[in-house]
Structure 1
Amino acid sequence: MTEHPILSPNGIRTAVLLPGTGSDEVFIRSVFEIPLAAVGVRAVLPAPRPGAGLGEAYLAALDEAAAQTPDGILAGGISFGAHLAAEWALRNPGRCAGLLLALPAWHGDPGDSPAAVAARLAADTVRAGGLEPALTSLTSSADAWLATELARAWRGYGDGLADSLRAAADRPAPTLDDLATLDIPAGVAGCPDDHVHPLPVAEEWTKALNQAVLCTTRLDIIGADPEALGRATVLAWLRAGGREGTSR
């Protein structure tokens, strides 16, 4: 847990941010920690617990943080982490004060969405040939910054990597009808140059949510400045009504 001395005065003091598929707390810290500190919110960044129960472990981390924060928490994440944050908010409407949703990858059943297909292929590659050949294949096709991030994170998953990738790829996200029942400030971020997390998905999430704003950045910018994704998401949340929570 990372603590900051400046906390928002209305009690929204904690944001729990969950990593994307195959990612880790190191990357999500580089994205969100400073943008959140700038608006007086401390970041709690759970590390992945590899294996088939990855999603449930992240939801438990949200439960734990909320139990220590009577005024409610912000929940959020990137890709799979954003899906889980919204899922948790639906289960805990009285304990979620807002959402920070970066790069949602699908809604409802994952089907053949690009992110789910990519995660299944990665899981199958790891199972068939092991971690290092899978990383070699990844490095040959991904941008250098992304390959570097995933190489570090994937090694941290150890023997649980393939099951973790599959758990993310096969888990349904909230449906658009589900999202329409949420009435809390939600910041959504998307990238027009991200074909794994298509911008139209972020637009659909934003339209479905009752109190949401979408801000965009670009993958090439994130590669040089990961905080760009965090700034876009936090700015969207502020514009959606989160600003009221930091000014009273």
Structure 2
Amino acid sequence: MLELKTPQEIAAMRTTGAFIAELLDDLQARAAVGVNLLDLEYRARALIEDRGAVSCYWDYAPSFGRGPFRNVICLSVNDAVLHGLPHDYTLRDGDLLSMDIAVSIDGWVADSARSLIVGTPRPQDQRLIEATERALEAAIAAALPGGRLGDISAAIGAVADEYGYPVNTDFGGHGLGRTMHEDPHVSNRGRAGRGLVLRPGLTLALEPWFAQGTSKIVYDPDGWTLRSADGSRTAHSEHTIAVTEGAPQVLTRSLTGAGLP
């Protein structure tokens, strides 16, 4: 069911989104050569607990995956792009790390992801991350009242085409609000002028993700982690946004810039 949010409900989601932004800022500052992924997982757990938030990932059990997810953040390295299961892995110089997290505060959810390079960057990895960030900004700009859901999908696909990256349509963005996944699905490729009419109060998680060499994905034996089928590197950017009477609002940007203790 599609639920349009009131301005007050969107404001509550913004509170959650601001916390997520600051949490990701904190983890990004800690993601250095020699840091274990589990250290980042435990830091995220502590911040969530201190805030009185609730992880949307803990005990998440969709049709895919092997058993319930028993972590609070997805950490995906290099050719892994989605649902990366935090595990005993020490970050190395040049690793491309994608972090994806969703939490609920006072019953309202926000979801965000970002990719970063640990240590020495490779130009091709910087370009890949730039493409997902540009695609995300294009998607946000297309989220205008009276437009169509296909406008958002087409904007993402156009940026992928500009950079020469293939697009997977198995996993994309989604509605959210009271729960982590609500209608509608937001494909990362589509046709402008088609699909659901965008109305004020619609809240969406927009999340372009690309692999350098393929649109095909494979699962790790853990049943969760998704990787590029050819082993090429991947990147993922995501914001929670709200369609309004005017310009779209990005709900997962820091309100203060002050950071977390």
TM-score in same-fold range (> 0.5): no
For normalisation by structure 2, the TM-score amounts to 0.28
| Structure with higher helix content | 1
For normalisation by structure 1, the TM-score amounts to 0.29
| Structure with higher strand content | 2
